[in-house]
Homo-oligomer: A and B are copies of this chain.
């Protein structure tokens, strides 16, 4: 018979929703929290509920934010910048912030173009991006999509969109290895790619 009670089974099942967590790892996580760290388990439970309920999207750049505007979009020194960096995810935005090299604005696609998965311009909020371009004040859009096939296709689409709006557009320089994922690159690779960006 199963030695697991319903609450334990539910917990193990729920842990399997985490990326990279299979049944064995989920069981190990559940037992470890129960055996050694119930306080941490409680804290994690509360943090999850608070985050899932309280975190929405910044109305301006679309990154995760619990307020209408994220910290960067609220910052007057940045929200007037003529540079707009377009990234695929909040994790990529975070990675670029950590280089300390960019002090402009962002637009977070929360994905990349992938027609087979039903991800088109609407899903990436490109209407909203066009409105920002049309509103003026942006001299250059820096495309920092992933250096992958889908990221390339997304950048190509975006560069045409920018050109229609007569806004200069550039892409991160060579230096980001093809096939890699932006959020896992080291800071100096990212820094170099940023300063060596090429106008398209």
Contacts and interface: CB of A to CB of B under 8 A. Distances in A.
A161 B9 CA distance: 34
Given A8-B64, A52-B38, A44 B71 contact: no
Contacts of A97: 1-3
Nearest to A75: B1
Nearest to A65: B5
A52 B11 CA distance: 10
Given A3-B90, A41-B51, A55-B34, A18 B11 contact: no
Contact of A51 (B1, B2, B11): B11
A66 B5 contact: yes
Interface residues of A, number: 64
A46 interface: yes
Interface string A12-50: 011101111000110111111111011011111111111
Given A1-B75, A31-B90, A34-B51, A41 B66 contact: no
A139 to B, nearest CB: 22
B44 A46 contact: no
Given A18-B44, A45-B48, 19 more contacts: A1-B97, A3-B71, A3-B72, A3-B97, A5-B71, A7-B47, A7-B54, A7-B66, A13-B47, A18-B32, A24-B184, A31-B89, A31-B91, A33-B48, A34-B55, A41-B52, A42-B48, A45-B46, A49-B49
Interface of A: 1-8, 10-11, 13-15, 17-20, 24-25, 27-35, 37-38, 40-55, 63-67, 70-72, 75, 89-91, 93-94, 97, 110, 183-184
